[in-house]
Structure 1
């Protein structure tokens, strides 16, 4: 048996944060959803059953939480900072797929949200 690909993920984690181009958004804040899919070699952990052989999703959550609480005008900046912190902390990360959704964006549309989605490859 050969492992072709593997991921650690967080799905629709909710945060209240202070991002936006408009001053009012940065003052009152808004609700955001973050989904994260991290390509990571989990083969060793599959056999060992030891958390130290994998990427702990609680640690990923803490990184997301820390970066999303830093106010920014653009979600692109928030997403970049999250990916940068993760790949610096865990060089074994192969890829990061990140989606940040702003619930109820101030644009007069009836929608579930708007945001940014990106995929980075961690070139070694």
Structure 2
């Protein structure tokens, strides 16, 4: 098993419960970590034998562009899409950070981190 990380994806989006967040938006940082079998790709040197991190970045950008009230919801959508669309991924962790959140204090960021494992397939007898 190996790990692929795509870190510090910087985006501007409109998530949040406040009406003003929907209008003015905020800066976000997303980190993605996936676990997959990388033995074959480490030998073949072929993109088709690994998890394409361009695809991971694309999923993050698309899901972050869909407004959510809660970061938990957008984080779960990213996680679900990764596991649904990239069959090589056995486990994924997604971290979504809202930079300088409007919560009435000097807070650098709030972060939601979710992890999900692929369910094992039942074998047919």
Which TM class, normalised by the smaller chain length?
Answer: over 0.9
> What number of residue pairs does the alignment pair up?
120
Distance 1:109 1:100 in 2: 20
Root mean square deviation of aligned Cα: 0.9
1:39 offset after TM fit, Å?
0.7
Distance 1:52 1:114 in 2: 36
Q: Does 1:110 align with 2:106?
A: yes
Q: Which structure carries more strand by proportion?
A: 2
1:10-89 aligned within 5 A: 10-89=6-85
What is the TM-score of this pair, normalised by structure 2? 0.92
1:91 offset after TM fit, Å?
2.2
Q: Is the 8 A contact 2:51 2:88 kept in 1?
A: no
Distance 2:110 2:53 in 1: 25
Gaps (5+ residues) in structure 2? 121-125
1:8 offset after TM fit, Å?
1.2
Gaps (5+ residues) in structure 1? none
Distance 1:48 1:13 in 2: 28
Q: Where in structure 1 do 4 or more consecutive aligned residues deviate above 2 Å?
A: none
Q: 1:35-62 CA distances to partner (integer Å, 9 max, x unpaired)?
A: 0101111110000011110001011100
What is the TM-score of this pair, normalised by structure 1? 0.93
1:93 offset after TM fit, Å?
1.0
